[in-house]
Structure 1
Amino acid sequence: MWRGLVFSVAVVLAVGGCTTGGGESRVGQSPPVVETTAGSGAPGAVPSASERRRRVVPRVPAGVWAGYMVFDRAAGKVTVRRDAHQTVRSASVVKILIALDYLESRREVPAGDLALLRGMLRSSDDRAATVLWTRGGRRAVVARMVKRLRLVDTAPPPADRPGYWGYTAISAHDVVKVYRYLLERARPEVRDLVLGELRKATRCGTDGFDQYFGIPRAVRRPWAVKQGWSGFGTVPAEPCGQAGANGLRYRPAAAPDLGLGRPVLHTTGTVGEDDRHIVVVLTLHPAGSSFRAASGRLTALTRQVLQAGGI
């Protein structure tokens, strides 16, 4: 257990946000493609879970790119995937790596740093992420985690934008590996702190954006989530409570495979008892998409991915 921790530290939710890096909307929802096979069973028979997985093909909305993966820890296998190695900018999903890099290097966490970790993981506080990112050496944080976790697609932000932690390149495949590391290899106190905070994800991020899109809207608890969003401005059109601006505005940087110039919206986490399923859905939306429209599309797609993955 962590020694010397003060667990009653209050986290101020009115600072920071996820602009580097939702309420549910029906905009852009499309039904999944259902593939049927003649003679697959007796008339009126209820299909098994495996048959439903084979029949459901998630429908990605027009103009949207999506990379996703579902890993069933009980079965020890991937149940559904699409473009799992394609990279895109991480937005706030990289905050899991920032937290891991910090925690894996020490045995004690001062109360002030615990407050930063809690705000960053629960409410996606950008200010907290920037403090820990800078202290950890910026791009070196990702380089260390790539080596330690044996990630194959993840890369630091462009060399000319070392402070832009949200420009870290990630893939669905690698984010699944990050969660598997947390669940299977990390020290118990590290696992419990990180996943414990992700299970307590607040409805509102510190920047005023609604974090409850994708997994939190598509499936009932228990779940643990780390969301990511970028490209929707620094202030939401429909604020989720009050939030202060963090003063950080990010300009697109020339870098491959980050989806720069288009909004990204990601939902990642674990679903079910004992964190049975790891679910990652990364999306890139048409330029000019509203947060409401994008979160509605992502939530609808996530429901289909969960169904196709047997959840």
Structure 2
Amino acid sequence: MGVSALCLALASTSCATTLYSRQPAAQPPEPPLSSAAGQPDQSPYVIDPSTVVEAVRAAAPAVTPGLVVFDRESEVRLLEANGGRRFRAASLTKLLITIEALDRAGGRNARIDGKLRRMLASSDDGIASDLWVEYGRGAIVTRTARRVGLSDTSPPRDPARWGDTLTTPRDVVRTYRYVLEELPARQRELIVSALATARRIAADGWNQHFGIPSGMSLRWAVKQGWSDSPDNNVVHSTGLAGPGWRYVVVLLTEAPAGTRWTPLRAAVTAAASAIEPLLPSA
């Protein structure tokens, strides 16, 4: 998701004045990855998060990761690191836009369905921006967060920058579970099939097959994200993996503004690669 595509055409405001919006400093403190004596938190995670965090930081030392892997078969979070930390959502906001659009459309709507499939599969920012304006900008996030049950997801301060929506790895897991477990079958099929056919080259020219697609051999359905701002750069790889979409995998990363994209993509791919061998056998 390129920066320029995030600047919506507001009636009385120029792109130059709306392109950036600094995020509030009220970011909650980053929780520790482990408890005292170097042991993992008391939660019964199957995968030691430090193993995956080390792989991430070996690829990009400045990265702050937010990682959750949820096993839908056992209903257990297999791994968590900074699961409650808030990150800029970037193109993950498109999942919320899609849920809102499908709810508004009600039954089958070929025009909306086609737009949503293209937006998800190609990470099309132009479609996202049009729907963002059409359905109420930040109110989309507020309504969808309430509908889905997201406790730490909130709209961007600058309504022109939908990619600055804030969310957490845990809330992203909850979003995928809502799609799989609570949406009507037709809406679920539309979203999952689009994510399962995510194109290698996104609408803005980015190769979006980093992270889960490159780091895991499992069947996948993914929504990726990337965005820069004056405060930070973020690169995310999230989605469903495995037989019957057993695993919900959420890999969020943040690095200081100006960090090169190549190591950030490599860090997310390193996380996915480190996770797959540690997953329980099907």
TM-score range, shorter chain: 0.7 to 0.9
Instruction: Quote the residue 1:57 is aligned against.
Output: 51
Q: Structure 1 CA distance, aligned partners of 2:136 and 2:45?
A: 48
Contact 2:48/2:79 (8 A) holds in 1: no
CA shift at 1:118, angstroms?
A: 1.5
Does the CA-based 8 Å contact 2:68-2:79 persist in structure 1?
Answer: yes
- 1:163 aligned partner: 160
SS across alignment from 1:191: helix
Which residue identity does 2:237 align to in structure 1? T
Task: Kindly indicate whether residue 263 of structure 2 is the aligned counterpart of residue 289 of structure 1.
Answer: no
CA 112–54 in structure 1, closer or farther in 2 if over 3 Å, else same: closer
**TM-score, with length taken from structure 1:** 0.72
Q: Which has the higher contact order (CA 8 A, sep 6+)?
A: 1
Q: Would you tell me which structure has more helix in proportion to its own residues?
A: 2
Deviation at 1:109, TM superposition (A): 4.2
1:140-164 deviations in whole A, cap 9, x for unaligned?
1001111111111100010xx1121
Map residues 1-311 of structure 1 onto 2, 5 A cutoff.
Answer: 17-19=1-3, 53-54=47-48, 57-58=51-52, 59=54, 60-61=56-57, 62-158=61-157, 161-231=158-228, 252=229, 261-310=231-280
Q: Percent identity?
A: 35
Moved more, 115-124 or 285-294: 285-294
Match of 2:236, SS state, is strand
Counterpart residue identity of residue 139, structure 2: A
Cα 1:109–1:101 change in 2 (3 A) is: same
User: What is the CA–CA distance in structure 2 between the aligned matches of 1:51 and 1:92, rounded to whole Å?
Assistant: 28
Amino acid in the other structure paired with 1:73: R
Structure 1's unaligned 5+ residue stretches are 1-16, 22-49, 232-251, 253-259
CA distance in 2, matches of 1:291, 1:210: 11
Q: CA deviation at 1:18?
A: 4.3
Instruction: Indicate the RMSD between aligned Cα atoms, in angstroms.
Output: 2.1
Give 1:276's aligned amino acid.
Answer: R
Q: Is the 8 A contact 1:18 1:228 kept in 2?
A: no
Unaligned runs of 5+ in 2: 7-43
Q: For the residues of structure 1 that align with 2:257 and 2:165, how far apart are their CA atoms?
A: 20
- 8 Å contact 2:198–2:221 — kept in the other structure? yes
Give me the whole-angstrom Cα distance separating, in 1, the residues matched to 2:232 and 2:279. 28
1:309 & 1:67 partners in 2: Cα distance? 18
Say if 2:152 and 2:168, in contact at 8 Å, map to a contact too.
Answer: yes
Counterpart Cα distance in 2 of 1:56 and 1:305: 11
Paired residue type of 1:262: N
**Relative to 1, partners in 2 of residues 1:55 and 1:300: Cα closer, same or farther, differing over 3 Å?**
closer
Quote the Cα distance in structure 1 between the aligned partners of 2:159 and 2:50.
41
Task: Classify the secondary structure of the residue corresponding to 1:208.
Answer: coil
Runs of 4+ in 1 over 6 A off after TM superposition: none
- Find the aligned partners of 2:110 and 2:223 in 1 and give their Cα distance: 22
